[in-house]
Structure 1
């Protein structure tokens, strides 16, 4: 079998780890394919050899140096991938050449080394486009700081023990459809550049059985957890969503947190409103009032932009003057503003020549204006109880003032109820 000419472009070694000869030995075997058209067997062999070369080098270095080289097991693999990338169109149907294919591999029972299951750690690996782990089986596995290209696939895979994807980067799409997770799952600090699909329609794979952590993860595209059952604590703390995440048909664990999570600005999307409504109802079922309130506000923001005409203006006013019933200060400022403004209006009726604007040098405000205005702002005095010094005020002005004041007082009460989680 002739040797691929581009092998000579590979470095002899990197950080003391032999690269060129390791890769040459792998592709001397026909079953492993060629460097620019690797086979499924070749992917497994190259991953193992990359790890083995690291162990050999580690045995020759001090413990301190080894501790500083935690990701060096990927050196041989990444040197190959950089020189022989996965090529093809961006269309997943068209597919890519020279892709990493680990589909249907049983990593959970792979013990072909004295060091144990050497292929269970892919830390720092760069897999390229359309890497496939479809129907693979894992025990404990480490995908920390891995770079996946577009169309990574973990469909129908089985994670029997903890899986660590911390700080991994995924391309424009990744699928975990019907993937079975039986232990802890961590995606802390991951970046997802496109569509992420964790949905399931398979009753055997619907559970996230262990602790699930997406803290500080960044989702730059749609993400779906539809149909999943979160059977343990789940955290999305400080996660960043560019599109409203969907949890339709999900069962959330009571220890589920979105603390500090960032959601996109409202765009008037019916899909987003429905997504937030699903989460609102899920937390309402748990009586997790703070989370329920948060997703209610997000839902209302979307619905505000969906409305038209007068209804849209009413929704806008509800947001502006009360933050959808969650602000005490906004309606208090509305109450204060109406009191001051209507004091001026009542002053115009009492003494038209005395009407002035606040800040005017010759402005002389009369105390009875503010007293009368305050009386109208309170719910107890009636329209007939007019101060003797202020006469001839139109009932229309009184009605408008009292209506605005009552609305402000109602919104203050509503905010206090929400603040103290009263039902």
Structure 2
């Protein structure tokens, strides 16, 4: 069993043309897809040829289940007896046609062999819709220069896409991965759809890079996915948008990176590149979709007992909630972020409290020192200390300092300073609450 990070990014000059690979020739036995538009008749011919080859050593039960999952007729997987000889001849003919300089044509691969298509460059659209992949497939470091279509593809064994690069759209909609699926370090530069995919084995999207096009829609669609085993998105880079997990069923042990910038240890270990951020700090994406994604991830991390990671996505969730609805609906979230970083910061509410205290102190000191109009009727000893105490007592009314030690000074204040006192008291309550939230989060007071 290979390691997820074993495959490395391969320069294009060292990649082999896909047509030199016998597996690819078998996948496209009746021809490659030309241009952007898919030829449905050509695809059907290629699919039936592949599935006839793939099903020759599968049991009747596996054939029936695979046909149902792929949405094809069961007879496609049992047609080898009728067309096997013809397909062998067609394979030799097609391989020789695409590789005229090859002296010896390789034999038709056996369906129980490992399918090795790694280190290949696919210059044309790869359409494997409703293909049944009977054995382990290796597409590590492959380069897809056109669309890659794996819709309703059934992978009966392990599927390796480590360090594969998709320059156009990648479609895995409704695919079924029966065993482990590894996308470690793969890169997606356009749309990437994993809609309603079922991962029956573990799935790894660690160190993936999702760039896509900047728009209000997500570049990485995982909605409706079913992760039946643990999955990892550690060190995955979502540059422009958040993934869409609407309706997805994530395994409770799914892991995510819960910070923006790579840590020094991640850089030292080669797990990330300096300058990349794991999550977009600014995005044009629909805030409702981004908020739902953050809520989904937060819920998973809460089950794992990771309060700091959970709170990172809670803050992102609140950030996007502050972009939804009218200004009055958004205002509470905006103020929550401004005054406390959504309950995460200790410094913010503490600084706001200090500023509120300083504002009251200056106002009271000016009055008690007699340098303002109106001035107190009688001289006040130590006006600075009295002003400091008055302002402090207004911030902490529950302790009763003002009533106990400064009752006379409070009673003699003019109306405008009494309004300031009330202002301090009212605004100190939420700030103290936010300070408590920050302390609770910092010290895990749960």
TM tier, smaller: 0.5 to 0.7
Q: 2:400 aligns with which of 378, 381, 390?
A: 381
For the residue of structure 2 that corresponds to 1:399, the secondary structure is helix
Kindly report structure 1 stretches of 4+ aligned residues shifted beyond 6 Å.
108-111, 113-119
- Contact 1:144 1:166 survives alignment (8 Å): yes
Asked whether 1:392 is paired with 2:413, we answer: yes
Shift of 1:301: 1.0
Structure 2 counterpart of 1:127: 122
Structure 1 counterpart of 2:203: 212
- Taking the aligned partners of 1:86 and 1:181, their CA distance within structure 2 comes to 25
Uncovered stretches (5+) of structure 2, i.e. residues with no partner: 1-12, 58-105, 213-218, 260-277, 374-381
Structure 1 counterpart of 2:292: 274
- Taking the aligned partners of 1:120 and 1:415, their CA distance within structure 2 comes to 53
- Taking the aligned partners of 2:402 and 2:329, their CA distance within structure 1 comes to 30
Structure 2 counterpart of 1:254: 252
For the residue of structure 1 that corresponds to 2:207, the secondary structure is coil
Asked whether 1:185 is paired with 2:181, we answer: yes
Q: 2:242 aligns with which of 232, 236, 244?
A: 244
Q: Matches of residues 84-99 of structure 1 in structure 2 within 5 Å?
A: 88-89=35-36, 92=37
Q: 2:353 aligns with which of 328, 335, 339?
A: 335
Shift of 1:290: 4.3
Query: Which digits, 9 at most, give the CA deviation of each residue in 1:301-330, with x for residues without a partner?
Result: 112122433443432221121111111221
- Contact 1:266 1:302 survives alignment (8 Å): no
Shift of 1:229: 2.1
Distance 1:319 1:296, change over 3 A: same
- Taking the aligned partners of 2:34 and 2:313, their CA distance within structure 1 comes to 42
Distance 1:39 1:244, change over 3 A: closer
Query: Which digits, 9 at most, give the CA deviation of each residue in 1:189-209, with x for residues without a partner?
Result: 111112211122xxxxx5312
Normalized against structure 1, the TM-score is what?
0.68
Structure 2 counterpart of 1:359: none
- Taking the aligned partners of 1:108 and 1:245, their CA distance within structure 2 comes to 35
Structure 2 counterpart of 1:164: 160
Structure 2 counterpart of 1:263: 279
Structure 1 counterpart of 2:434: 411
Greater RCO, 1 or 2 (C-alpha within 8 Å, sep 6+): 2
Uncovered stretches (5+) of structure 1, i.e. residues with no partner: 1-13, 27-31, 33-37, 44-84, 201-205, 356-363
- Taking the aligned partners of 2:255 and 2:174, their CA distance within structure 1 comes to 24
For the residue of structure 1 that corresponds to 2:242, the secondary structure is coil
Shift of 1:217: 0.7
- Contact 2:136 2:156 survives alignment (8 Å): yes
Structure 2 counterpart of 1:6: none
CA RMSD of aligned residues (A): 3.9
- Taking the aligned partners of 2:47 and 2:115, their CA distance within structure 1 comes to 12
Q: 1:302 aligns with which of 307, 315, 320?
A: 320
- Taking the aligned partners of 1:166 and 1:160, their CA distance within structure 2 comes to 18
Distance 1:183 1:342, change over 3 A: same
- Taking the aligned partners of 1:39 and 1:217, their CA distance within structure 2 comes to 26
Query: Which digits, 9 at most, give the CA deviation of each residue in 1:59-102, with x for residues without a partner?
Result: xxxxxxxxxxxxxxxxxxxxxxxxxx97534xx4689x99xx67
Q: 1:346 aligns with which of 350, 364, 367?
A: 364
- Contact 1:140 1:161 survives alignment (8 Å): yes
Asked whether 1:315 is paired with 2:336, we answer: no
- Number of matched residues? 337
For the residue of structure 2 that corresponds to 1:161, the secondary structure is coil
Distance 1:197 1:116, change over 3 A: closer
Query: Which digits, 9 at most, give the CA deviation of each residue in 1:113-164, with x for residues without a partner?
Result: 7999667111111112321122221411111111112321111212222221
Asked whether 1:232 is paired with 2:229, we answer: yes
Distance 1:129 1:319, change over 3 A: farther
For the residue of structure 2 that corresponds to 1:306, the secondary structure is coil
